[in-house]
A and B are shown apart, each in its own frame.
Chain A
Amino acid sequence: MGQTPHIAVIGGGSTGAGIARDLAMRGLDVTLVEQGNLTHGTTGRMHGLLHSGGRYAVSDQASARECIEENRVLRDIASHCVEMTGGLFVKRPEDSEEYFEEKLEGCRECDIPAEVVTGEEARQMEPHLAKDIDKAISVPDGAIDPFRLVVANAASAQEHGARIETHSKVTDLLVERGEIVGIEVEHGSGPGKRVHGTAGGTEEIRADYVVNATGAWAGRIGDMADLDIEVRPSKGVMTIMNIRQVDTVINRCRPKGDADIVVPHETTAILGTTDEEVEDPEDYPEEQWEVDMMIDTLSELIPMLQEARTIRSFWGVRPLYEPPGVGSTDPTDITRDFFLLDHEERDDLPGMTSIVGGKFTTYRMMGEQISDHVCGKFGIDADCRTADVPLPGSEDFSVLRDYMDEFGLRSPIGRRSVERLGSRADEVLKTDGPNPTVCECEGVTRAEIHDAIEGSGSDLNAVRIRTRASMGNCQGGFCSHRMASELHAEYDEAVVREAWDELLQERWKGQRHALWGEQLSQAALNYALHATTQNRDRDPADGDPVDFSAFDAGRSRAGGVADADVAADGGTDGD
């Protein structure tokens, strides 16, 4: 071919970002386009479990083997995104003994380190487990931060020359002479980083090959070239608690079921989940019973959840794929494996392969296989290096230093910043000016916010997922305006105002499913802070002009004292 092939990757989830990194490291030209932020899709709405494979050890051993293999790889290359919490499969008296044995056996068959612990030992590890737990199997489950992992993959791809376009939606596939030759993209705000208020535009991106990594949306991309891709989106709910009731991943040891896992994640514990097929990956009901079920069912394992405070709930859709002809009726029966659909072989339309199904834990392996496939198309012989080269942030980073003195941060905040940033800590935190805390719940400092702004433009939700700012107990009540102010250092007030409103609205969205008890009191406080103290809900900058002269100008200002009997209908007519 002579020239370096240019590959367009559609989808900025774990799969797309993993592919972009792999291809770029192999020397190909890559453009990744994502309609929202990175992780806008399922990747930003998942449980955060780094699978040991234990969950699939009975039902789907091929997936289980892939999981444990990748689990080991990610601990290495993404150490700053992983917390090795360990996991337990917990058996209650009413759960089947036979299944417990099968699980143990299955783990051993799949090379997943597994050990039986007694009920008492399990409660020593996790004191809030129910008193009547029989026993448990311990496995190397972990917690993983999907946001930072995807951002790190994208950053690495960029370092290797890839172009990353977020807020750019693929609106069509370019088909010429029976071949896909590129994509048509609609930019939300012009190419490059997102800046609110910048005009967008359409761009035709021509490519030598297109990879469709749009997960649950894959069928829609297929439709653009009359290809049938039978993705079966299946939704699941996750409910976030305000503290970590457990420090270990707790699974219920029974065949399959809803509400059977709790994953500790940063300062929170996340309860999940359900599995229910939906028509549309963007528009499906989010319902009260689902949240109630998480709390009620998982309380059987961890009784204190019944009274605990939740801060929000969210839903994600699995991009499940089933090869034609299998015909599972229950989505829980559909395989968790992934598939490459080469549309040349499958549909006689060269130029594109779709990758569907799979799991977050195996994203890198998926990336490797499809990159092999793409390289094969071009006769390129290049080794995959993604399993060996650490991601940015995880390079020789072994000891967590105490950064308190070095960065003048209070110790717990320093520790958390460093955990988040990994080997990038020096680069990010060494600033000239003072570095106050912007988000107290999550311990995020000004320097981290500015680093995120540099990487993501004027988008505060993108800053949020990179830093965790506004993701703790107060859900942005105390820090949204601070984040907006930090953005003002780089962008105009009008841009900032739009980004700020967007952040507030997004924060509200998930909290709605947690509005009782302390979190409702928190919401009432946030509402008062934003609407009363800041008057954000009636910002005159967004509304009609105000007739300032009709209001009190102060006792001492001669001539400024307003008339006592001005009209009651307000000064909204601005003369």
Chain B
Amino acid sequence: MAIESDVLVVGGGLAGLTGALSAAREGADVRLVSYKQSTLRQASGLVDVLGYTPDGDGPLTDPFAAIQSLPDSHPYRTVGVETVRDALSLFDEAVPTYEGGHTDANALLPTHGGTVKPTARYPAGASAGLASDDRDTLLVGVEEMVDFDAPHVAAHLGAAGVPFDVRGETIRFPGDLRADAKVTRYAKLLDTNGEVAVRGRKVPARDALAQRVNPLLEGEARVGFPAILGDDEPGAIRAALGEKLGVDVFEVPMGPPSLPGLRLEDALFDALDAAGVSIETGNPVVDVDGDDRVERVFVEKNGARIPNSADQYVLATGGFVGKGIESDREGVSEPVFDCHVPHAEDRYDWFETELFGDHAFARYGVATDDDLRPLDASERPEFDNLRAAGSVLGGYDFAAEKSGSGVSIATGYAAGQRAAQEAR
């Protein structure tokens, strides 16, 4: 007997999680199967909707207004701007620790590379760092941490023309963390507020950190740290530091492993639990049964192939990064349902010579009909009951446009909702 549900979502990244949530909200019985950690571990945790047009114009102040002028093949055009708004409303409700929903305008956030970038939703922990807020800023880096060099980031932000004064200082982090300690080590120390030795005395870590930063302040109203301020208790840590320093505290998102991304993943898993979705992680879907319709999929677990069947399926296995799209010297493919992935025949046409050229590979993924159903080479749906969402979709370059999480949320929402409606 197969494990059964109304809707089966394959892939537990932003798209799959949003899809499962929206299907559950529609009243469907939903199951989600996901293999490894999602791209959120790598991603900054910011939710970009649209920062630049495909031609590179921007930064856009209003992403929603710009959606109408995107090409027809863009996933946002497939679902429509109203669906994008509805999807973000669901997101705002499911993840109350995020901000940005009070306006249609994009926010500009400082990056750990020293630029600013347009985004639509940001964690509360980043909100005091907005670049359109004109309060002077102190950035504090940690000597041992090579991913965030505060003086460099500050100087670069200055060159980017931010409307405030910004300085960078570097401190030795309190406590004896090794030179190569992972960000999670810093986070844990602050989460537990464990005691660290400071000149022979034991001091709670948050106090010790504030003591290091205090003498460096020159009247700035806000202080930015790399995103290491706690995994479980980021709000409390920021509040404690803010109080001791008499400033607003914020985090600047960083690369992998990204705590803001992991916190977002946790928040969405909590929302799925609350919505009664059944979740299985750690095992891949390896095979599929069915012709015009998907009959069942097989999940590999400890060497056994366990059938899972559902009325409707959502494919949300990610793009090249999440391994939902694969390639070899001969071509590009979608390995789970073997959906067609349009691509140039010659692999030297997959990329441009320029580093940030208009790379074709960045837009590779499945193409769909208006109902998000993947199309085969002759433009017919691969399966009647399969929809695709997130970065497994083609037709957009999320890195250039700054639209990654937005497309995943919007298409995940739409795919989940439609799957649930059809399963009834």
Contact = CB atoms under 8 A, between A and B. Distances in A.
B307 interface: no
A408 B179 CA distance: 8
A552 B132 contact: yes
A521 B151 CA distance: 32
Contact of B328 (A481, A504, A516, A524): A516
Given A533-B111, A551-B107, A527 B159 contact: no
B128 interface: yes
B359 A570 contact: no
A497 B153 CA distance: 11
Contacts of A570: 52, 57-61
Contacts of A520: 320, 327, 350, 361
A323 interface: no
Interface string A108-121: 00000000000000
Contacts of A326: none
Nearest to B146: A482
A524 B321 contact: yes
Contact of A554 (B128, B178, B254, B359): B128
B329 A551 contact: no
Nearest to B178: A408
A494 B159 contact: yes
B43 A532 contact: yes
Nearest to B348: A288
A554 B328 contact: no
A433 B145 CA distance: 12
B278 to A, nearest CB: 30
B146 A546 contact: no
B256 to A, nearest CB: 8
A434 B107 contact: no
B43 to A, nearest CB: 7
B394 to A, nearest CB: 13
B161 interface: yes
Contacts of B43: 528, 532-533
B152 A496 contact: yes
Contact of B399 (A517, A527, A550): A527
Interface string B349-366: 011011110010110000
B130 A553 contact: yes
A564 B143 CA distance: 41
Interface stretch (B7-15, B98-106, B211-219, B407-415): B98-106
B362 A524 contact: yes
Interface in A544-575: 545-546, 548-557, 560-572, 574
B105 A567 contact: no
A515 B115 contact: no
Interface string A485-528: 11010001110110000001100100010011100110111011
Contact of B113 (A295, A436, A533): A533
Contacts of A433: 143
B62 interface: yes
A180 interface: no
A414 to B, nearest CB: 11
Given A485-B149, A524-B319, A535-B115, A562 B103 contact: yes
B111 A534 contact: yes
Nearest to A292: B329
A72 interface: no
A484 interface: yes
Nearest to A306: B329
Contact of A436 (B133, B180, B359): B180
A533 B143 CA distance: 22
A422 B156 CA distance: 36
A408 B180 CA distance: 10
A295 B329 CA distance: 11
A564 B105 contact: yes
A288 B346 contact: yes
B159 A497 contact: yes
A493 B153 CA distance: 9
Nearest to B181: A436
Contacts of B113: 481, 530, 533-536
A447 to B, nearest CB: 11
A505 B112 contact: no
Contacts of A564: 62, 103-105
Interface in B123-166: 127-128, 130-134, 143-147, 149, 151-152, 155-156, 158-163
A517 B156 CA distance: 35
Contacts of B178: 408
A33 B147 CA distance: 36
Contact of A546 (B99, B108, B155, B400): B108
A541 B62 contact: no
B323 interface: yes
Interface in A188-246: none
A176 interface: no
A565 B155 CA distance: 32
Nearest to A291: B329
A279 interface: no
Contact of B48 (A494, A523, A532, A545): A532
B25 interface: no
B398 interface: yes
A524 B127 CA distance: 28
Contacts of B354: 505, 508
Given A482-B147, A533-B113, A539-B115, A549 B320 contact: no
Contacts of B398: 528, 532
A560 B57 CA distance: 24
Nearest to B405: A532
19 contacts: A436-B144, A486-B146, A493-B114, A496-B152, A512-B353, A520-B350, A521-B320, A521-B323, A525-B320, A525-B321, A535-B111, A535-B402, A536-B115, A540-B116, A546-B108, A551-B107, A552-B107, A564-B104, A572-B58
Interface of A: 288, 292, 295, 408-410, 433-438, 446, 478-479, 481-482, 484-486, 488, 492-494, 496-497, 504-505, 508, 512, 515-517, 520-521, 523-525, 527-541, 545-546, 548-557, 560-572, 574
Interface of B: 42-44, 48, 51-52, 56-62, 65-66, 69, 99-100, 102-108, 111-118, 127-128, 130-134, 143-147, 149, 151-152, 155-156, 158-163, 172, 178-180, 253-256, 319-321, 323, 326-329, 346-348, 350-351, 353-356, 359, 361-362, 398-400, 402, 404
